[in-house]
Homo-oligomer: A and B are copies of this chain.
Amino acid sequence: MNFASDNASGASRSVLERMLVVNSGPSPAYGGDDNSRNAQALLSALFEREVAAFLVPTGTAANALALGALTPPGGGIFCHDEAHVIDDECGAPEFFTHGGKLVGIPGVGGKVTPAALTQTLARFPRGVARQVPPATLSLSQATECGTLYTPAEIAALSAVARGAGVAVHLDGARFANALAGLGCSAADMTWRAGVDVLSFGCTKNGAVACEAVVFFDPAQAATFDVQRKRGGHTFSKGRFLGAQMEAMLEGGHFLELAAHANRAARRLADGLASLPGVRLAFPTEANEVFPIMPARAEAALKAAGARYYPWATRSVAPDLAPRDGEVMLRLVASFATQDAEVDAFVAHVSFALHVRAAP
């Protein structure tokens, strides 16, 4: 019963096996290898246009380098006020943007709205050398609350950004889960909706360590290889990144893995929501579930050795927020989550609630 993080799972066996396959013989170093090249071609196919894609080993590297490519030194980066880039990357975005300022925008369910974005941008007038100049909007898809933007919602936010001369980055650490959740095309969710650069995550979804920074306009990527190398993120044995991406993309393997995780989350959400005294803080649209439950139920889970994080957030709607004696949890399903552990988890909660309700 490990729902602590999708990062707690290992890698899809197909990914590791592909790494063994590409191991034999010499291969050009520093990204000149066939596998990296092929990965780029597969990404172009997925996105239905020629993209410039750069493989890196971590999600933090992908986000920070992507923001660095879009943001001049010291520029303003706008994101949800609980986004991963503002809260969980230890200052990497500030480092790679040479002192950029991340400006948080509050919003229910982890989502930024066009109105809130407009209002925040208004605090940063151009032509006044006092506030940092707005440079980039960073959206998370799926969000930190496991919710999704529709392509239309992304397009509306991009339009506001564009109107303010602000570029658009999509943090797709859980992009595959979003794609599986929405059932739309990768192109619809990105460049057709105004996204400039995407952090395309594979690690949480079953890679060993592999993400792609995807530029939909290759011209914007002119010096990105230099920035990647300067960040220490260019693999000398590039084939081992290329192979991971190949294994994920070929035959839509990444989508199968994500769909599995989403189904597990759905099963978990349905099971929990059916229990009296349990409610969900956010709709379950990808692979994360945020139940609110009586503290005694959570105590039972802890006693049973279940793994998860208790969760504090300013994103929950006031009428849904935890009350005294209640606890909110974050539960993350992965490609490796099994129905049995989902069902066991729900059963523990159910049992705890009924036992206590007894006398």
Nearest chain B CB to A100 CB, angstrom units: 7
State whether A2 and B26 are in contact (beta carbons under 8 Å apart), knowing that A94-B99, A226-B133, A231-B232 are contacts in the complex.
yes
Do B225 and A129 have beta carbons less than 8 Å apart?
yes
Check A351 for interface membership: any CB of B closer than 8 A.
Answer: no
Do B87 and A131 have beta carbons less than 8 Å apart?
yes
| Across-interface contacts of A223 in B (CB, < 8 A) | 72, 133
| Across-interface contacts of A228 in B (CB, < 8 A) | 129
State whether A8 and B24 are in contact (beta carbons under 8 Å apart), knowing that A56-B232, A90-B132 are contacts in the complex.
no
Do A8 and B28 have beta carbons less than 8 Å apart?
yes
| Across-interface contacts of A60 in B (CB, < 8 A) | 229, 232, 234
Do B235 and A209 have beta carbons less than 8 Å apart?
yes
Do B24 and A10 have beta carbons less than 8 Å apart?
yes
Do B240 and A30 have beta carbons less than 8 Å apart?
no
Nearest chain B CB to A329 CB, angstrom units: 17
For A, the interface residue count at a CB cutoff of 8 angstroms equals 76
Q: 1/0 per position for A78-115, CB-CB distance to B under 8 A? A: 00000000011111101111111110000000000000
User: Once the chains are docked, how many angstroms separate the CA of A200 from the CA of B87?
Assistant: 31
> Which of B4, B13, B229, B307 is the one whose CB lies under 8 Å from A130?
B229
Check A44 for interface membership: any CB of B closer than 8 A.
Answer: no
Nearest chain B CB to A334 CB, angstrom units: 9
| Across-interface contacts of A98 in B (CB, < 8 A) | 73, 95, 98-99
Nearest chain B CB to A316 CB, angstrom units: 17
| Across-interface contacts of A100 in B (CB, < 8 A) | 91, 94, 99
Do B235 and A58 have beta carbons less than 8 Å apart?
yes
Do A90 and B29 have beta carbons less than 8 Å apart?
no
> Which of B8, B19, B94 is the one whose CB lies under 8 Å from A208?
B19
Do B74 and A73 have beta carbons less than 8 Å apart?
no
User: Once the chains are docked, how many angstroms separate the CA of A9 from the CA of B10?
Assistant: 26
User: Once the chains are docked, how many angstroms separate the CA of A239 from the CA of B133?
Assistant: 25
User: Once the chains are docked, how many angstroms separate the CA of A22 from the CA of B11?
Assistant: 10
A binding-site residues for B, Cβ under 8 Å: 2, 4-5, 7-11, 13, 16, 19-20, 22-30, 56-62, 64-65, 68, 72-74, 87-92, 94-102, 129-133, 203-204, 208-209, 223, 225-237, 239-240, 307, 336
**Cross-chain pairs A/B with CB under 8 angstroms, 19 sampled:** A4-B28, A5-B29, A8-B27, A8-B29, A9-B26, A11-B237, A56-B232, A60-B229, A65-B232, A73-B95, A74-B94, A94-B94, A94-B132, A95-B231, A98-B99, A129-B234, A209-B209, A231-B231, A232-B233
